[in-house]
């Protein structure tokens, strides 16, 4: 059986950690690519030398030239400038638009049949950039946001209730940023909605902490942003695709009328399988939740209008 090949664009903390998780899970050979000479090669060699200890037998190579990425089955795009303290997501917008545009053009040239998982911020606008630049069908261009935001929400619920995170399913919809829409009604502990277990003000505090989850880590680290959880989230999506799991995960998907939203990437539950997004799951929202989702979509549209994608 031919082994899968994944390109990880950007060999910073998110990219390198994603590469490590991919080989740890025996998913694919990995090419780490970056514009900085030596960095992807050095990290790839270091990861390769962990193989005899960790027991994985996949090839990991570093590259600066997209020729080395040819015929990738999937590409995880983490390239872009990180958010610095005090910097809004919008400040990042134009700089990262240029980076993601250039990356996508090269991927299309060398891996025209790949599935793209976009991690770069501001997420929803960057995944829309990748869709428009690539010309790929919408099922093959997916944004990683909801899995991460839901993981953060799960973590905070588990901490609050002092229960195992394995008992918790949480759902977060909408744009990746301050307008995300955590759904407490659909967030459960062993099937029990958290609305039955926690008072409203406690849930509101957890929702707020989830929406600020990335900023909280940026303010603590001072010189960087989150990477362990973002890399884990992107690799969960990759695994669902490669293993054709038909797993329902919240991802940024291109909506054409679902949830009353047209022509925008917004975080919604989707079914992930070998073709990428195989179905968009439409759940019933209360008027308040629907209004919050529309507000989130409007915030995404503002960014998309600025970069005209």
**Which residues share a beta bridge with 250?**
269
44: which residues sit within 8 A by CB, 6+ positions away?
A: 11, 19, 30, 32, 60, 61, 62
Q: Are 152 and 206 in contact (CB under 8 A)?
A: no
Nearest to 181 by CA among 143, 216, 146, 226: 146
Is 262 an active-site residue?
no
| Residue 286 to residue 254: CA distance in whole angstroms | 22
Nearest to 159 by CA among 206, 200, 97: 206
Separation of first and last alpha carbons in the chain: 39
> Given 5, 89, 176, 301, which residue is catalytic?
176
Q: Which residues are catalytic?
A: 176
């Amino acid at each position: 059986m031919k082994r899968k090949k994944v390109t990880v664009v950007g060999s910073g903390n998110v990219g390198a950690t994603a590469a490590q998780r991919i080989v740890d899970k025996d998913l694919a050979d990995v090419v780490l690519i970056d514009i900085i000479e030596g960095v992807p090669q050095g990290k790839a060699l270091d990861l390769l030398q962990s193989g005899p200890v960790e027991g994985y037998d996949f090839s990991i190579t570093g590259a600066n030239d997209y020729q080395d990425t040819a015929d990738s089955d999937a590409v995880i795009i983490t390239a872009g400038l990180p958010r610095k303290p005090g910097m809004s997501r919008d400040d990042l917008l134009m700089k990262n638009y240029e980076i993601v545009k250039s990356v996508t053009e090269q991927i299309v040239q060398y891996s025209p049949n790949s599935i793209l998982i976009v991690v770069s911020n501001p997420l929803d606008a960057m995944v829309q950039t990748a869709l428009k630049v690539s010309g790929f069908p919408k099922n093959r261009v997916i944004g990683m946001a909801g899995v991460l935001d839901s993981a953060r929400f799960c973590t905070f619920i588990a901490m609050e209730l002092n229960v195992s995170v394995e008992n918790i399913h949480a759902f977060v919809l909408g744009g990746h940023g301050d307008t995300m829409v955590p759904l407490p009604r659909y967030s459960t502990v062993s099937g029990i909605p958290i609305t039955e277990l926690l008072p409203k003000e406690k849930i509101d505090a957890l929702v707020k902490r989830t929406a600020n989850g990335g900023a909280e880590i940026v303010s603590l680290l001072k010189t960087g942003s989150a990477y362990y959880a973002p890399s884990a989230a992107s690799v969960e999506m990759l695994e669902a695709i490669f293993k054709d799991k038909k797993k329902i995960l919240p991802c940024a998907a291109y909506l054409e009328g679902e949830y009353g939203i047209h022509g925008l990437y917004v975080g919604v539950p989707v079914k992930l399988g070998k073709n990428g997004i195989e179905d968009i799951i439409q759940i019933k929202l209360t008027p308040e939740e629907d209004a919050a989702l529309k507000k989130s979509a409007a915030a995404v549209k503002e960014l998309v209008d600025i970069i005209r994608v």
